[in-house]
Amino acid sequence: METQTKLQKKENSYVERACREIKGFRKLYEDIDEKMCISDLSRSTTANYCRRLAQLSLEFGRLPQDISDKEINKYLANLARQSKTPSLSTFKFTVYGLRFCFRLLGLKDRVVQLPVLKHKSKLPVVLNHAECRAVFHASEQLKHRVLLSLIYSAGLRVGEANRLKICDVDSGRMMIHVRQSKGKKDRYVPLSPLMLEGLRKYVIACRPVDFLFNGCKPGSPLSINGMQSVLHEAVKKCKLQKRITLHTLRHSYATHLLEFGMDIVTIKELLGHERIETTMVYLHVAMPTRSNLFSPFDRLYLKS
């Protein structure tokens, strides 16, 4: 689970290839990396931008600024025609990468030629209570059961679970300290008493060091790819048909809190959202709790 997939290895080699094969790309890559570091953008964002720019440069054998608008638009159109989610992600990061690159080079006229990305309003996938229990119990390894349960029980992002350390779990205060998450912010979330019991059994049995969930290498955390593989195997075993990711557990956490009566502002703080509008999407997902709600279809067949 710790090894990278063939696709990921191939994508990571794009930048290396471009540095070797495209004259001037190494300097451009270093300038972009330096600027993004100063701008305090995440490493994953930097990697995505540079990878897509490398793919573009390798496709045309030239630096991005030397590729015509017509050629770029045709390239983007081909990406947009592909319907699969990874392709849409490739399109998005190619556009954003080009915008960042052209701004860095002072090519403001070229920035406006790029298409405006429309935000697609999609409701998150949410598991019901029975599906959650099934996923948590599907894994044979205690470590994996505790990992998935903890992500849900605390509403963690995958990167937060990945970086969580043993010392971040405060059983005295029954809180979990989530450090330097999205937006470089810390927050505390409640530690479930039931979750604490599972964590204690896990720590005694697996003896993690430093990080709560260790990877194969000493002193390293379980990789995000490893975590995704844990969930994939659990979902496969449960034979669930929903499109489930690790973030689905976080969506389910927020939705279930709302259904159990917690107010939206408190949920916003627990999730670490910057804007209340981000949290309000769960209002459209949560099942109504008012007992007098019904479908008119049922009333059509009631005996008068």
Catalytically active residues, by annotation? 157, 182, 247, 250, 273, 282
One DSSP character per residue, 227-243 reads HHHHHHHHHHHHT--S-
Give per-residue burial for 110-140: e unless 16+ CB within 10 Å, then b. Answer: beeebeeeeeeeeebebbeeebbebbbebbe
Phi, psi (rounded to 5 degrees) for 170: -100, 95
| Cross-strand pairs, 176 | 169, 189
Query: In this structure, which amino acid lies at residue 181?
Result: S
**27/25 Cα distance (integer angstroms):** 5
Q: How many residues does the chain have?
A: 304
Structure tokens at 276: 């209340």
Give, to the nearest 10 degrees, the angle between helix 224-238 and helix 142-154.
100
**294/179 Cα distance (integer angstroms):** 44
Cα Rg of the chain, angstroms: 23
One DSSP character per residue, 271-291 reads HT-SSHHHHGGGGGTSPP--T
Q: Are 54 and 17 in contact (CB under 8 A)?
A: yes
Q: Compute CA 50 distance to the chain's CA centroid, rounded to the nearest angstrom.
A: 19
